[in-house]
Amino acid sequence: MLKFGKKILYIVKNFCNQKLIKSIIIICIITLITLPVTAQVLVFPNLNNTNSWLPKTNNNSEVSHCIYLDGICLFKVAAASSDIDERVKVIENRLNRISNLYFSQKELELNIKVKSINKLPNVYVTINKQQIRLLTVTSSDVGSEGIDLDSKANFIIEQLEAGLKRAKKERELGYLVKRGLISVGIIGVLLILNFILLRQIKRLKISKERVAESKINQPVSTILIRREQWNLKEVQYRLSQLVQFVFWLGGIFIIVGLFPYTRIAQIWLFNLLRIPLRIGIVSLITYVLIRLSYALIAKLSSLLFSHDLLDFDSNRRLQLRLTTISIVSRSIITIIWVMVGIIVALSAIGINIAPLLAGVGILGVGISLASQNLIRDAINGFFIILEDQYAVGDFIQVDKFGGLVENINLRITKIRDSEGRLITIPNSEVKIVANLSSNWSRADLSIPVAYEDDINQVLSVVNQVAEEMLKEPVWQTEILEKPEILGVENFAEQGLIIRVWIKTKPLKQWYISREFRRRLKVAFDRQGLLLSLSQQKVWLTNIK
């Protein structure tokens, strides 16, 4: 585990040391340095205001809202949640009238003052003798700020005056040209970054495909190492795509905020993408955690499959078991991370998950009562894996179905029979299972010979064929012990039945049986012996 953690840190360090990241940092620093001091109005919307998208539970609760001018928050007002939208709309309409009047005249007199009406300060704006009431400052506007109403009114006046002057300056031709040049520079930087990121993404994609290329008869340890590498490459690939998306989104967001006419689009863009972005970030983190978990499982499995801990030939059974546990672990890890991701995503968008979890718990109890077969499948599947009844790669016989195990999880087992059919068996139905490849297999041969042949000669030929086959290097690795010639097993209709047992490596019994029968037929033909067929003798008698 420690070694794997160090390896992950090493990979992250190398990834961060790549020319791509260095180039990005350098270009970003240059961009920030070259931005003029006067271009400081790259303002993000008010992130604390969630009234427009969170569910309202109490119409009498007081909430605050920003009053914007050209997308910049000047000050906040507050009211009951049922009245806040109407009040904000009225104030912003009045502010638009004031700003349009202020921007349309070159020489003007701007006067902002406070008048007390019903002991509440009212903010009035006078432009060339035309007076417009902006708002009435109420106790709700002060809230928990710890100031009185007059101080709040004076603060609003200062912010309003500064905002109007700034907005008018931003509409000057020279200012707009300067911002246009900055936008062109940002677009150029984005194009350079995009080119670098596209090359990086292409390299990672090619690297992933190269790692994913599988060759026939690869050792299990090699497969696990390649799986670990693929998952790490996948994490880097997705993070590079995320960086590319963030750069373009951030660049567009900044460019939109440079101009007073489009800055309001920042708020629209933020409101539009706020929830999808949160869900997307949680989804990406969940996906990365799943892939890193896969890489960790593959790393731990590959450590066990290393030459120092396991020998492939002598510990094949343990390797099959570890492979099966690795597959099941990945499915369990996926379910856990997906559930955690869903809960975090719901919490991130402002949904109270406590009642939801309680409801899910009650629903889970109901589902468990209604889905007892599913629970039995999971329990039986757990004990199948724990007790090593069979694993992926074994040849098993369950009831009348037999085949090679292709996949197993806590609920089902999938086997492929000799006709190529994929058979899915619920684990609760696996009551009695015959494993034909656990640790070793046996070729069980029944050889019919004619009654007329010399049985001693037949046994001698069979033994000779077995010894010759055992001496060949190709078959020595597949046959574990000297073949057992059991002798005459039975007297059958087709002749004498001679039985032979050959202990083989798992799943090699059919391959060796076919070769042994071929060699035996050749040897019998050479000696003039016959492999008997079913026969009947008929006696005819003349009854007088």
In this prediction, residues 411-420 reach a mean pLDDT of: 86
DSSP state of 312: T
In this prediction, residues 489-505 reach a mean pLDDT of: 85
The whole-number pLDDT of residue 256 equals 85
Query: Residue 274 — pLDDT band, cuts 50, 70, 90?
Result: confident
Q: Amino acid identity, residue 100?
A: N
SS3 at position 63? strand
Looking at the predicted structure, is the pLDDT value of residue 33 above 50?
A: no
Q: List, in order, residues 6 or more apart from 149 with CB less than 8 Å away.
A: 120, 121, 137, 138, 139, 141, 142
pLDDT per residue as tens digits for the range 504-531: 888 888 888 898 889 888 888 888 887 7
SS3 at position 432? coil
Q: Amino acid identity, residue 523?
A: A
The whole-number pLDDT of residue 9 equals 45
% of residues, the chain, pLDDT over 90: 3
Retrieve residue 181's tokens.
Answer: 């040049």
In this prediction, residues 342-354 reach a mean pLDDT of: 80
Q: CA distances (Å), 223 to each of 67, 167, 226, 350, 476, in order? A: 60, 63, 5, 43, 27
The whole-number pLDDT of residue 430 equals 87
Looking at the predicted structure, is the pLDDT value of residue 58 above 70?
A: no
Quick count: other Cβ atoms within 10 Å of Cβ 230? 21
Given phi > 0 = left and psi -120 to 50 = alpha, else beta, which region is 7? Answer: alpha
Q: What is the DSSP secondary-structure string of 523-538?
A: HHHHHT--B-------
Q: Is 105:127 a contact under the CB 8 Å cutoff?
A: yes
The whole-number pLDDT of residue 308 equals 46
* CA distance linking residue 475 with residue 115, whole number of Å: 106
Helices (H), 37-148: 84-104, 139-142
The whole-number pLDDT of residue 355 equals 72
Q: CA distances (Å), 408 to each of 199, 421, 481, in order? A: 40, 16, 32
Helices (H), 349-371: 353-370
The whole-number pLDDT of residue 45 equals 43
Cα angle, residue 325 at apex, residues 324 and 330 outer, rounded to 5°: 100
Looking at the predicted structure, is the pLDDT value of residue 272 above 70?
A: yes
Mean pLDDT of the chain: 78
Q: Hey, what's the torsion of the CAs at 10, 16, 17, 22, to 10 degrees?
A: 180
In this prediction, residues 326-352 reach a mean pLDDT of: 83
Name the strands in the sheet holding 495-504, side by side, starting at the edge strand that comes first in the sequence. 441-449, 495-504, 484-492
Looking at the predicted structure, is the pLDDT value of residue 497 above 70?
A: yes
pTM above the 0.75 mark? Answer: no
CA R_g for the chain: 40
% of residues, the chain, pLDDT over 70: 78
Which residues is 422 bridged to in the sheet?
416
Query: Residue 134 — pLDDT band, cuts 50, 70, 90?
Result: confident
Looking at the predicted structure, is the pLDDT value of residue 252 above 80?
A: yes
Angle, to 10 degrees, between the axis of helix 316-348 and the axis of helix 353-370?
140
- Which of 259, 250, 249, 246 lies closest to 181 in space, CA to CA? 259
Looking at the predicted structure, is the pLDDT value of residue 35 above 80?
A: no
Which residues is 500 bridged to in the sheet?
445, 485
